[in-house]
Amino acid sequence: SHVGKGGAFVRPGLYMCKFDGQGELLIEKDGNVIQNNGTSLMINVTSKNGVRFRITRTNSSDPVRNITMVPLELSGRNFPEDPFHPEFIAELSGASILRFSQWLRVDSNDYNSMNQPRNWSLRTLTTDQTQNCLAGVALEYMVALSNKLHASPWFGLPKAASVTDSYHIQFANMVKATLDPDLLIYIEYRDEGPGSLTQEQAQQSLMIFTIWEGVFGPDETARRLRRVVNI
């Protein structure tokens, strides 16, 4: 694995790298191992070309797995429960609304290929190798960030196949079940003006709104849902 390949930013500094299993891990490129305790390595990173991890030996019955690399000062954190960097949280502190346009990647290219109906089973999960992928960031992280900052989420949503679209129904159900009930929810078809697609914009907006209204019911729709149409 090559973290930071192609110019992606890896901040210089000390990192703690850990893995489970039996074997050896070689650190290459901009990572210099300054302490090695077997399954725990302290790495000094001078970022330019990224850090490459190479498994040079592994035990087939107890293979090298679950490799992590985090800044030394954050090495004791429970990342599944608290995945956001403190500096990231500090930067967003005070925001009342978080617009997750790019995180959902609905209008991520010139051909609108990600604006087509989606399959819920193919969505990005928190356990996936990366969150920087075509399907965008896991919804769980969007909800978790909104809850942590007590900021209302604004979702730019892809096309619905019908008013029974499974992706949209399950998306809305997860938001209803896990988002702080005191927060508002902004929903919008896509995140850009329609241009020549005004009719589609209206049809899709109404379809998506109908789905969410069905999930939340009339009372919660009136209290929490904010339906946005860009023109």
Asked if residue 19 lies in contact with residue 49, where contact means CB atoms within 8 angstroms, the answer is no
**DSSP codes joined into one string, 48-111:** SS-EEEEEEEEBTTB--EEEEEEEGGGTTS-TTT--S-HHHHHHHTT-SEEEEHHHHTTT-STT
pTM: 0.86
Between strands 185-189 and 152-157, the pairing is parallel
* Contacts (Cβ under 8 Å, ≥6 apart) of 9: 47
Predicted confidence (pLDDT) per residue in 61-119, tens digit:
999 999 989 999 998 888 878 899 999 999 999 999 999 988 998 876 655 566 778 89
Predicted pLDDT of residue 108: 62
* Contacts (Cβ under 8 Å, ≥6 apart) of 222: none
Asked if residue 122 lies in contact with residue 152, where contact means CB atoms within 8 angstroms, the answer is no
Predicted pLDDT of residue 6: 64
Residue predicted with more confidence, 6 or 230: 230
Predicted pLDDT of residue 177: 98
Predicted pLDDT of residue 110: 56
Distance from chain centroid for Cα 145: 10
Predicted confidence (pLDDT) per residue in 7-60, tens digit:
667 788 999 999 999 999 999 888 999 999 999 999 999 877 888 899 999 999
* Contacts (Cβ under 8 Å, ≥6 apart) of 127: none
